[in-house]
C-alpha cells in the first residue's frame, strides 16, 4: 500500500511540475498591443513639447517607456501599415498609394498577425486596416481572428458603409456589417478592451488602429469644448478639432492601461504607441522643430513617435534611443525579441531592434534608409524621396542636410559636401533597382470573386486603377457623379454563372442611379453639408470582363443594372461604366459580383 501511495505521489508531483512548467512557459510569452493613430505627427503630443494639446495619459506612458527619437515611417497611411505588417518597404508590397488598387497588400506577403498566429497567439484588430477590403486581402484573411473595422482609408470613403460619420456607425465585424453605438474611437477601444478581457489568460496580439484624427474632423462636443478660450483663440477650428480627437484617443489610452492593470497583465504586455505619418492638421501650431507634414519627403512627413513599454522585459524608465530606425523594423524585432518561429521567404528590409532595446550592442551600423511619396498608379523613380543615414538627409537628389545640426532642414549644404550626396545617391540607385528586379509595377493585387469566403463581393471605385486622379474613390464622388475611366483587377476563382450588378450607390443606401441625392443627409465633412447629387442623366451601363462586353439601358428608377453570364475561372481586367446622355464615362461607383450556382 505504501508503495502504491509513493508511486501516486510521484505521478502527481510529475504532473504538477509539468503543469507549472507549461504555465511558466505560457507566462513568458508576452501579450502585444500596438496603438497606431492616423495623421498624428511627432509634434501633436504634449510630451513632445506641444503646449496647446492635452495628452496627459500618453505623456505618462512616455515618461516610463523606451522612446525611439529617430523613428521613421512612410509619408502616408496605407504604406506605413503595409511596411509594419510585412517588415518590407511598402513599395515592394503594392502599398505605395492610398487608393487606385495600389493600397492592397499582395496576397503572397506574410503578415505580422500570421506569424503571431503560427506561434500560438490570438489576434485582433480594431479600426483602420487600409490594406484591402475584399477577399483575400481583409484582415480576417491575413491572420486576425477578431476584427472590427471601417472600410477604405477613412470613414466616409468609398469602401466604407454608406453614410458613416464617426457617430453610431456601421462597421465590418468579422466580415459582417454591424451597427455600433458611440463615437468611432470609443467603439474601437471598447472592442479591444473586450477582446483583451476575453483572452487575458493566453497570449494575444491586439492591433488598435484608429482612424482618428484623420479627416473629417468630427468629434464629440465635449472634446471640442476643451479647446475653447483665450489660449486657443489664434488656432483655427480645423486644428482644434484635430486636437480634440487626439485627446479623446488619450482618454481611451488610459482606459486601456487601466484594463491591463485591473486584469493583472500589464507587466507581461508589450504596449506600443506610434502614428502612421506626419501631422495633417497640427503643423501650423507646433511641429517639434520638423519641416513638412503628411505626404512630405522632409522630416516632418515621416519622423513620428515610437514608444515601447514592457515591464517584464525591462523596457521601462523613460529611456531615449536615438539611432535611425524604421517601421519595417518592428516585425523582425518581434520575431527576435519573442523568439517567434519565422523563416522569411522574401528578403526583409527591416532589422531587429532588440540589441538597442536590450542595450547589448555599443555600436549600431550606419544604415541608409529610404522613404518616398508615390501616390501614383505605378512607382515613379525620383519622385519625392529622401535618403537617410545617421547624419545626413538627401532630399530629391538636390538638397543635403546635416540632420544633427539642422533638424528643421533649413540649410542646404549639398555644394559643400558633394561626396556625401554622391554616396547617398548610389544607395538610392541600388535601392530602386531592387523594385525593378521584383517587377513591382508589372504586378497587381487581384480581388477574388466567386469564393465562399466572400459572395457576393462588394467592390468600389476606390480600388479602380485609373490613369488620372479622380474623386470617384470617395462617397462624395458617387454623390456628385465624378468622372473617371479605369479598370479593376479581378480573379474569378471558379468557372460558373455570375451575376454582376453596377450601381451608383451601394445597396445599403437603396437609391436609384439617377436619384437626386438629398443634401440634408448626414454631413461627411464637419464644416459642410453633404453635397447634393444633381446629376440624373445616366443613360447606359457598360460592362467588360472576360467574355462579357455589353451595354444595357438604365431604366427610370433603376437602382442597379445587372449582367449575367458564364465566366471561366481566371484573372481579368474589368471595366464597369455608367454613361450619361452626352456619352461621358463615369465609373460604376459600386459593383457587386456574385456566383449564383
Coil/strand/helix, residue 509 = coil
For residues 65 and 310, give the distance between their C-alpha atoms in angstroms, rounded to a whole number: 8
Query: Which three cell numbers, joined as nine digits, stand for 458?
Result: 462588394
Contact 572, 547 (CB under 8 A): no
Query: Which three cell numbers, joined as nine digits, stand for 301?
Result: 512627413
Contact 205, 31 (CB under 8 A): yes
Mean pLDDT for 533-540 is 87
pLDDT exceeding 70 applies to what percent of the chain? 92
Kindly tell me the sign of the dihedral angle through the C-alpha atoms of 112, 118, 124, 129.
positive
- Chain-wide mean pLDDT for the chain? 93
Q: List the Cα angle 469/473/476 in 5-degree steps.
A: 110
For 291-326, write each residue's pLDDT tens digit. 999 999 999 999 999 999 999 999 999 999 999 999
| Residue 16 pLDDT > 90 | no
Mean pLDDT lowest for which of 13-27, 267-281, 287-301? 13-27
For 60-75, write each residue's pLDDT tens digit. 999 999 999 999 999 9
Give the CA count within 13 Å in the CB-facing half-sphere of 320.
6
Contact 308, 55 (CB under 8 A): no
Q: Where are the beta strands (DSSP E) in 20-153?
A: 31-37, 66-68, 71-72, 122-127, 146-149
Contact 189, 256 (CB under 8 A): yes
Among residues 114, 110, 117, the alpha carbon closest in space to that of 86 is found at 110
For 186, 264, 467, 545, the CA distances from 485, given in Å and listed in that order, are 38, 55, 7, 15
Mean pLDDT for 266-282 is 98
For 86-109, write each residue's pLDDT tens digit. 999 999 999 999 999 999 999 999
139: exposed, middle or buried (C-beta count within 10 Å: 0-12, 13-18, 19+)?
A: buried
Mean pLDDT for 394-407 is 98
161: exposed, middle or buried (C-beta count within 10 Å: 0-12, 13-18, 19+)?
A: buried
| Residue 20 pLDDT > 70 | no
Q: Which residues lie closer than 8 Å to 16 by C-beta, 6 or more apart?
A: none
Higher pLDDT among residues 274 and 24, named by residue:
274
For 357-394, write each residue's pLDDT tens digit. 998 766 889 999 999 999 999 999 999 999 999 999 99
What is the rounded radius of gyration, in angstroms, for the C-alpha atoms of the chain?
25
For residues 243 and 533, give the distance between their C-alpha atoms in angstroms, rounded to a whole number: 32
Amino acid at each position: 500500500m505504501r508503495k502504491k501511495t509513493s508511486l501516486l505521489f510521484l505521478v502527481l508531483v510529475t504532473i504538477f511540475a509539468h503543469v507549472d512548467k507549461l504555465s511558466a512557459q505560457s507566462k513568458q510569452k508576452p501579450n502585444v498591443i500596438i496603438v497606431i493613430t492616423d495623421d498624428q505627427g511627432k509634434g501633436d503630443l504634449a510630451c513632445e513639447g506641444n503646449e496647446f494639446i492635452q495628452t496627459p495619459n500618453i505623456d505618462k506612458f512616455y515618461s516610463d517607456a523606451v522612446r525611439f527619437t529617430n523613428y521613421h515611417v512612410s509619408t502616408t497611411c496605407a504604406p506605413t501599415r503595409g511596411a509594419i505588417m510585412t517588415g518590407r518597404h511598402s513599395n515592394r508590397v503594392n502599398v505605395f498609394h492610398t487608393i487606385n488598387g495600389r493600397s492592397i497588400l499582395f496576397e503572397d506577403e506574410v503578415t505580422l498577425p500570421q506569424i503571431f498566429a503560427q506561434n500560438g497567439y490570438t489576434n485582433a484588430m480594431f479600426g483602420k486596416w487600409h490594406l484591402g477590403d475584399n477577399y483575400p486581402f481583409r484582415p480576417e484573411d491575413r491572420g486576425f481572428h477578431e476584427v472590427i473595422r471601417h472600410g477604405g482609408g477613412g470613414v466616409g470613403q468609398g469602401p466604407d458603409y454608406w453614410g458613416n460619420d464617426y457617430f453610431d456607425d456601421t462597421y465590418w465585424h468579422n466580415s459582417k456589417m454591424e451597427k455600433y453605438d458611440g463615437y468611432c474611437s470609443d467603439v474601437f477601444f471598447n472592442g479591444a478592451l473586450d477582446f483583451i478581457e476575453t483572452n487575458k489568460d493566453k497570449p494575444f496580439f491586439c492591433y488598435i488602429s484608429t482612424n482618428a484624427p484623420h479627416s473629417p474632423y468630427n468629434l464629440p462636443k465635449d472634446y471640442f469644448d476643451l479647446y475653447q478660450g483665450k489660449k486657443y483663440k489664434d488656432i483655427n477650428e480645423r486644428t482644434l478639432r484635430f486636437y480634440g480627437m487626439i485627446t479623446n484617443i488619450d482618454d481611451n489610452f488610459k482606459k486601456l492601461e487601466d484594463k491591463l492593470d485591473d486584469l493583472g497583465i500589464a507587466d507581461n504586455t508589450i504596449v506600443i504607441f506610434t502614428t502612421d505619418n506626419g501631422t495633417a492638421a497640427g503643423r501650423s501650431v507646433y511641429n517639434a522643430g520638423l519641416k513638412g507634414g503628411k505626404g512630405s519627403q522632409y522630416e516632418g512627413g515621416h519622423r513620428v513617435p515610437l514608444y515601447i513599454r514592457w515591464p517584464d522585459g525591462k523596457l521601462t524608465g523613460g529611456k531615449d534611443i536615438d539611432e535611425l530606425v524604421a517601421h519595417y523594423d518592428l516585425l523582425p524585432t518581434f520575431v527576435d525579441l519573442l523568439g517567434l518561429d519565422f523563416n522569411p521567404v522574401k528578403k526583409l528590409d527591416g532589422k531587429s531592434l532588440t540589441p538597442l532595446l536590450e542595450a547589448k550592442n555599443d555600436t549600431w551600423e550606419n544604415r541608409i534608409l529610404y522613404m518616398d511619396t508615390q501616390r501614383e498608379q505605378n512607382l515613379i523613380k525620383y519622385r519625392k524621396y529622401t535618403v537617410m543615414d545617421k547624419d545626413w538627409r538627401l532630399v530629391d537628389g538636390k538638397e543635403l542636410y546635416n540632420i544633427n545640426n539642422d533638424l528643421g532642414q533649413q540649410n542646404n549644404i549639398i555644394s559643400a559636401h558633394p561626396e556625401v550626396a554622391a554616396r547617398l545617391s548610389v544607395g538610392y540607385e541600388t535601392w530602386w533597382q531592387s523594385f525593378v528586379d521584383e517587377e513591382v509595377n508589372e504586378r497587381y493585387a487581384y480581388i477574388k470573386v466567386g469564393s465562399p469566403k466572400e459572395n457576393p463581393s462588394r467592390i468600389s471605385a476606390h480600388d479602380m486603377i485609373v490613369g488620372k486622379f479622380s474623386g470617384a474613390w470617395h462617397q462624395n464622388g458617387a454623390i456628385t457623379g465624378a468622372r473617371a475611366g479605369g479598370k479593376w483587377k479581378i480573379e474569378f476563382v471558379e468557372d460558373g454563372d455570375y451575376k454582376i450588378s453596377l450601381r451608383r450607390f451601394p445597396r445599403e443606401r437603396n437609391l436609384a442611379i439617377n436619384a437626386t441625392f438629398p443634401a440634408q443627409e448626414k454631413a461627411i465633412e464637419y464644416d459642410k453639408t453633404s453635397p447634393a447629387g444633381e446629376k440624373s442623366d445616366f443613360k447606359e451601363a457598360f460592362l467588360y470582363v472576360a467574355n462579357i462586353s455589353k451595354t444595357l439601358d438604365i431604366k427610370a428608377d433603376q437602382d442597379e443594372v445587372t449582367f449575367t453570364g458564364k465566366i471561366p475561372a481566371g484573372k481579368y481586367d474589368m471595366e464597369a461604366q455608367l454613361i450619361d446622355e452626352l456619352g461621358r464615362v463615369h465609373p460604376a461607383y459600386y459593383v457587386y459580383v456574385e456566383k449564383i450556382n
